[in-house]
Amino acid sequence: MHTPDSTSSPAMVIVGAGHCGGRAALALRTAGWQAAIHLVGDEPHHPYERPPLSKDLLTGDKTAEACALLSDADLREARITRHVARVTSIDATARSLTLSDGQTLAYQSLLLATGGKVRTLRIPGGDLPEVMTLRNLGDAAALAQRLTPGQRLLVVGGGFIGLEVAASARKLGCEVTVVEGAPRLMGRAVPEPVAERALALHRARGVRVLLGVGPLGITRTANGVRMELADGSSIEADTVLAGIGIEPDLALPQAAGLAVGRGVMVNAHLQSSLPGIFAAGDVAEFPSVLSGQLVRQETWHNAETQAAIAAQNMLEGVNSALAAYTALPWFWSDQYDHQLQVMGEPALAATSVTRTLDDAGGMVIFYLDADNRLVGACGWGETSRVAKELKLARTLVERRISASAEVLADPATKLKGLLSHAR
C-alpha cells in the first residue's frame, strides 16, 4: 500500500467530531494514512456516544467521561488534529474549507459527519427556558439538573428519545406525562403490538401517556409552565422536553454544491455528488442494501459502521478498491428494564410471524419476504432476554435465512439451529 509522507500530502478532513467523525478519524489512521488528519467539530467535547444521554447518563449511572469515544491520549497517539470550530464553507473546486476561527484547511478527501440538529417546538412559548431538547452532553446536564424527585416533566413526542427520558425521569422520582400527536407510540419504525406493549409498560410504571393530541402553546404560571393541548385540556409542568426528532443541517453541503435530499445524497461507497467528498452517519442519505431505496438512519450502528467504510473509501488512490456499505439497519432503545431492537427492513416484508418469548409480553416478530427469506426482526421484552434472542435473530437476518413461519413461531425452535439454513 502506498502511504504518502506527511509533508507533501494534503490532509484528510472530517467535519463533525461526533460518533461517526471520531470513529472515521481513527479508522483512517489505522488503515495506514500517514499524513495529517483534521477532525473539526463545534462541540467542546471530544467525540462521545450519545445513547447514554437519555438513559444512564441522565440517571447518574454513567459519567460523561465514560461516554467518550476518544481521549486526549488517543488523539495524540493517532496524530489527529482536533479543531473546536464550526466549518462555515466548503470550496469543492479548490478542495478546501473555512472554519469559524478563520483557518482554512485543504483536503484530499473530506467526510461530512455532521449528524443532525434537534427540532424545536414551533408553538407560542416553545422558546421558554423551561422547554428543553436533548442532543448533546450540555443538554443532558441541563436536563438532569431539573429532574429531581417530585418535579413534573412533560415530554412532547412519544418516540424513542422521549420514552427513554420518560423512563429515566420515573427512575429519578419525577411525575411524567408524555403527549404524542399520533394515535400510537414510536411511529412506523415499530410494529403495533410492540407499541401497545410499550404503552402498557409506561402506564404501569406511572407515566401518564396522552395519544392523538398535540400541543398548541405554552405559558408561564406562578410555579412552572402550562401547556395548552389541541383537545382543549392543559397540563402543568416544571420542565418540558421536546422529543420531536432531528433533521440534518443541509445549508453547508447545499452551498458547496452537493446533491441533497433528506440528507447529503451518497452512493453505496458513501461518495457524494462531488469528487473527494463523502458523507456518513445521521446526515447521509444512502441506498439501502435490501431495497436500493435511498434511506437515512439515525442510529448508533449506522454511525459506527459507515465510519469504517467512509474512511476506507477516503483512501481511494491509496488503497485500491472501493468498499460498498452493505450493513443492515439495526437499532435498540432501552426503556426501564425493557429493550426494543429492530433489525433489517420490516417494511419490505410480505409476511410477519410472532414468536413469544415469555409470559410477560416478551416477543420477537420476524419479517419474511415473498420467498420466506428473513428481511427483518423486531424484539421487545426484558433486556437480557431480548438481547440474547436478537443477537441470533440479527445473524439470521444478515444471512437472509429462509425459514417457515411455523418454525420461527415455535418457542421450542432453537434459533441457533436455523443458522445452518443459510443459502
Cell of 271: 461518495
The residue number whose beta carbon is nearest to ligand FAD equals: 18
Q: State which of residues 12, 20, 153, 185 lies at the interface with ligand FAD (CB under 6 A).
A: 20
d(CA 252, CA 36): 23
Q: Which stretch binds ligand FAD (CB under 6 A): 42-50, 220-228, 393-401, 414-422?
A: 42-50
Among 67, 186, 227, 303, binds ligand FAD (CB under 6 A): 303
The reply on whether position 54 binds ligand FAD by CB under 6 A is yes
Of 46, 50, 170, 373, the residue at the interface with ligand FAD (CB under 6 A) is 50
- As a whole number of Å, the CA-based R_g of the chain is 23
- Between 167 and 290, name the residue whose CB sits nearer to ligand FAD: 167
Candidate residues 181, 189, 331, 407; the one interacting with ligand FAD per rule CB under 6 A: 331
Binders in 243-302 for ligand FAD, by CB under 6 A = 249, 252, 281-283, 298-301
Contact 323, 311 (CB under 8 A): no
Distance, in Å, from the CA atom of 256 to the CA atom of 201, rounded to the nearest integer, reads: 47
Distance CA 287, CA 198 (A): 31
Helix (H) or strand (E) holding 193: helix 192-204
Among 108, 133, 333, 341, binds ligand FAD (CB under 6 A): 333
Closest approach, Cβ 401 to ligand FAD, in A, equals 23
Give the residue with the Cβ less far from ligand FAD, 16 or 125: 16
Q: How far apart are CA 240 and CA 262, in angstroms?
A: 28
* Cβ closest to ligand FAD, residue 143 vs residue 357: 143
Q: Indicate whether 162 belongs to the interface with ligand FAD (CB under 6 A).
A: no
Taking residues 130 to 149 in sequence order and writing x for each that binds ligand FAD by CB under 6 A, - otherwise, the string is ----xx--------------
How remote is the C-alpha of 10 from its chain's centroid? 32
Note whether 176 binds ligand FAD by CB under 6 A: no
Q: Which is nearer to ligand FAD, 298 or 403 (CB)?
A: 298
Question: Max Cα separation, the chain?
Answer: 68
Report the C-alpha gap between 192 and 93 in whole angstroms.
49
Least distance to ligand FAD, CB of residue 113, Å: 5
- SS3 at position 310: helix
Cα distance between the two ends of the chain = 35
Residue 374's Cβ-count burial label (10 Å; 0-12, 13-18, 19+) is: buried
Q: Does 40 bind ligand FAD (CB under 6 A)?
A: yes
Question: Cα–Cα distance between 244 and 180 in angstroms, integer?
Answer: 9
Taking CB under 6 A as the rule, which mask of x and - marks residues 383-412 in contact with ligand FAD? Answer: ------------------------------
Q: Which stretch binds ligand FAD (CB under 6 A): 14-22, 264-272, 310-318, 383-391?
A: 14-22
Alpha-carbon distances of 259 from 180, 194, 278, 324, rounded to whole Å: 34, 37, 12, 20
Considering only residues 77 through 106, tell me which ones interact with ligand FAD, judged by CB under 6 A: 86-87
Which residues, 6 or more positions from 217, have their beta carbon under 8 angstroms from its beta carbon?
Answer: 123, 124, 125, 227, 228
**Secondary structure tally for the chain: helices H, strands E:** 11, 25
Residue 96: how many other CB atoms lie within 10 Å: 16
- What's the closest the beta carbon of residue 358 comes to ligand FAD, in angstroms? 22
- Tell me the window of 35-43, 207-215, 271-279, 288-296 that interacts with ligand FAD (CB under 6 A): 35-43
Residue 53 binds to ligand FAD (criterion: CB under 6 A) = yes
Q: Which range binds ligand FAD by CB under 6 A, 10-18, 65-73, 174-182, 357-365?
A: 10-18
Q: Which is nearer to ligand FAD, 165 or 353 (CB)?
A: 165
Choices 112-120, 172-180, 271-279, 414-422 (CB under 6 A): range interacting with ligand FAD: 112-120
Residue whose CB is less far from ligand FAD, 369 or 382: 382
Q: Which residues, in sequence order, are CB contacts of 157 under 8 Å at separation 6+?
A: 178, 179, 180, 242, 243, 244, 245
Question: Based on CB atoms, which residue is closest to ligand FAD, 96 or 331?
Answer: 331
Interface with ligand FAD: number of residues (CB under 6 A):
36
Strand residues in 25-148 grouped as ranges (E): 37-41, 80-84, 87-91, 96-99, 104-112, 117-118, 131-132
Contacts with ligand FAD by CB under 6 A lie at 15-21, 40-43, 50-51, 53-54, 86-87, 113-115, 134-135, 161, 249, 252, 281-283, 298-301, 303, 331-333
